[in-house]
């Protein structure tokens, strides 16, 4: 008999670099929707951030910026839990246990480590290598069942399931941890660079024109859309006309995600039009949708006491869930508690 675990959402965003449109449409907006469907825990993963060098002052600033973005986007701190990973010691404790459950071979297969460590693996931090174990601990510390993440995190989530399975088998309860499911699909799931429709919009792209960040003002948003790479053809009327046109496809997808429409509906409206007409419409829409959000972020960002209060209360609520689970982990492992 397998017992069913209560449905619970967990996700995390790293406080590194400015939040961009891809983070908003692909992650944060989904978090806002999920909070109405099940108990939701949204973490700012500062411990993951320091797996690569972070300036301490900037880390602090960016942690508050994400808290502001969460609240400005519509995550209700009375409904969902918003907190900072380092404030709940269970993350580090469970990550250690998982460092001893996961196998070197499993981690050696992680493609993100290979990408992030680059050529000189010897100089990467040990933390970067065991990053996925900490991520598994984040999720399983709360017995979360659903994890909204980008496509790039799918492999890490599979590892979390492998860790959960091995722990369950070795420590005598096949249902101790749930096997968490990724929630990947949905509008805005893959927002690509404005300069290259084949690579993801990313905070590490050297070109500022490749992304719209949530601190851009209206003129900057309009300029970046105007300069976005396109092709000379007008927009097609059907979806298959977007094949092999990654930049056109991306702009249509952004329009659809911002407007809450399907891609097909966007093509029904703009099919046959050139980018000379579509880009200004997209720029107006982006400004109209993002301006209230960025303005509210700026206002909240000015009230540090309020944001710190939200994080403190969130961490207390997170601890209440985590502590009994961590206690049972320790007992099962054989630590005297
Ligand atoms: N690795 C995730 C990312 O970079 C962030 C993250 C850390 C996360 N812990 C998590 C996401 C737990 C989901 C669940 O996007």
Give the H/E segment covering residue 251: helix 246-259
Interval 31-66: pLDDT, tens: 999 999 999 999 999 999 999 999 999 999 999 999
C-beta of 48 in contact with ligand 1 (< 6 A): yes
Kindly tell me if the per-residue pLDDT of 187 is higher than 80: no
Give the H/E segment covering residue 10: strand 8-13
Kindly tell me if the per-residue pLDDT of 258 is higher than 80: yes
Instruction: Report how far residue 263's alpha carbon sits from residue 254's, in angstroms, rounded to the nearest whole number.
Output: 9
Q: Which pair of structure tokens corresponds to residue 285?
A: 């829409």
121, 166, 185, 200: the active-site residue: 200
pLDDT band for 223, please (50, 70, 90 cuts): very high
Q: Which pTM was predicted? A: 0.93
- Strand 8-13, strand 39-44: pairing: parallel
C-alpha closest to that of 143 among 323, 331, 332: 323
CA of 90 to the centre of ligand 1 (A): 16
Can 116 be counted among the known catalytic residues? yes
Interval 289-319: pLDDT, tens: 999 999 999 999 999 999 999 999 999 999 9
Kindly tell me if the per-residue pLDDT of 76 is higher than 80: yes
C-beta of 14 in contact with ligand 1 (< 6 A): yes
Q: Which pair of structure tokens corresponds to residue 297?
A: 């972020």
Kindly tell me if the per-residue pLDDT of 1 is higher than 70: no
What are the structural domains of the chain? 8-183+304-333 (3.40.50.620), 208-298 (1.10.240.10)
C-beta of 138 in contact with ligand 1 (< 6 A): yes
Out of 45, 63, 184, give the residue to mutate to test ligand 1, the one with the largest number of ligand atoms within 8 Å of its CB.
Answer: 45
Ligand 1 atom nearest residue 148's Cα: 13
Question: How many other C-beta atoms can be found within 10 angstroms of the C-beta atom of residue 219?
Answer: 10
Can 200 be counted among the known catalytic residues? yes
Burial class (CB within 10 angstroms; exposed 0-12, middle 13-18, buried 19+) of 185 = exposed
CA of 203 to the centre of ligand 1 (A): 15
Distance (Å) of CA 99 to CA 126, 203, 206, 295: 11, 29, 34, 42
Report residue 150 CA to chain centroid gap.
Answer: 6
31 CB-near residues (< 8 Å, 6+ apart): 9, 11, 40, 42, 70, 73, 75, 80, 148
- Residue of minimum CA distance from atom 13 in ligand 1: 11
Model pLDDT, residue 185: 75
- Residue of minimum CA distance from atom 6 in ligand 1: 12
C-beta of 16 in contact with ligand 1 (< 6 A): no
- Strand 39-44, strand 146-148: pairing: unpaired
Query: What is the residue whose two structure tokens read 């502590």?
Result: 323
CA of 219 to the centre of ligand 1 (A): 32
Out of 84, 135, 150, give the residue to mutate to test ligand 1, the one with the largest number of ligand atoms within 8 Å of its CB.
Answer: 135
Interval 77-98: pLDDT, tens: 999 999 999 999 999 999 999 9
- As a three-state string, the secondary structure of the chain is CCCCCCCEEEEEECCCCCCEHHHHHHHHHHHHHHCCCCEEEEEECHHHHCCCCCCHHHHHHHHHHHHHHHHHHCCCCCCCEEEEHHHCCHHHHHHHHHHHHCCHHHHHCCHHHHHHHCCCHHHCCHHHHHHHHHHHHHHHCCCCCEEECCHHHHHHHHHHHHHHHHHHHHCCCCCCCCCCEEECCCCCCCCECCCCCCCECCCCCCCHHHCCECCCCHHHHHHHHHCCCCCCCCCCCCHHHHCCCHHHHHHHHHHHHHHCCCHHHHHHHHCCCCHHHHHHHHHHHHHHHHHHHHHHHHHHHCCHHHHHHHHHHHHHHHHHHHHHHHHHHHHHHCCCC
CB–CB of 39/8 below 8 Å?
A: yes
30, 154, 185, 203: the active-site residue: 203
CA of 244 to the centre of ligand 1 (A): 31
Largest Cα–Cα separation, the chain: 70
Can 226 be counted among the known catalytic residues? no
> For the chain, what percent of residues have pLDDT higher than 70?
99
Kindly tell me if the per-residue pLDDT of 264 is higher than 60: yes
């Amino acid at each position: 008999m397998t017992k069913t675990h209560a449905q619970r959402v967990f996700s995390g965003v790293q406080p590194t670099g400015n939040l961009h449109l891809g983070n908003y449409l692909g992650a944060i907006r989904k978090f806002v929707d999920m909070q109405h469907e099940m108990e939701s825990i949204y973490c700012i993963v500062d411990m993951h951030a320091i797996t690569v060098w972070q300036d301490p002052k900037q880390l602090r600033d960016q942690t508050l910026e994400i808290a502001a973005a969460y609240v400005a986007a519509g995550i209700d701190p009375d409904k969902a839990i918003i907190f900072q990973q380092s404030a709940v010691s269970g993350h580090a404790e469970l990550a250690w246990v998982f460092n001893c459950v996961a196998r070197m071979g499993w981690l050696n297969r992680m493609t993100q480590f290979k990408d992030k460590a680059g050529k000189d693996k010897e100089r990467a931090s040990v933390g970067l290598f065991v990053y996925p174990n900490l991520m598994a601990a984040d999720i399983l510390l709360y017995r979360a069942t659903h994890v909204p993440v980008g496509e790039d995190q799918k492999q890490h989530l599979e590892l979390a399931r492998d860790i959960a399975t091995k722990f369950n088998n070795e420590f005598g309860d096949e249902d101790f941890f749930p096997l968490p499911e990724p929630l990947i699909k949905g509008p805005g799931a893959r927002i690509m660079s404005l300069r290259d429709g084949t690579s993801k919009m990313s905070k590490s792209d050297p070109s500022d024109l490749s992304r719209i960040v949530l601190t851009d003002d209206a003129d900057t948003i309009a300029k970046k859309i105007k300069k976005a790479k396109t092709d000379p053809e007008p927009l097609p009327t059907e979806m298959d006309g977007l094949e092999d046109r990654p930049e056109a496809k991306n702009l249509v997808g952004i329009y659809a995600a911002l407007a809450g429409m399907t891609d097909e509906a966007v093509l029904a409206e703009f099919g046959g039009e050139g980018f000379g007409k579509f880009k200004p419409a997209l720029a107006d829409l982006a400004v109209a949708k993002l301006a209230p959000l960025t303005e509210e972020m700026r206002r909240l960002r000015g009230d540090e006491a309020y944001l710190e209060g939200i994080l403190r209360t969130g961490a207390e609520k997170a601890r209440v869930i985590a502590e009994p689970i961590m206690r049972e982990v320790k007992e099962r492992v054989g630590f005297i508690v």
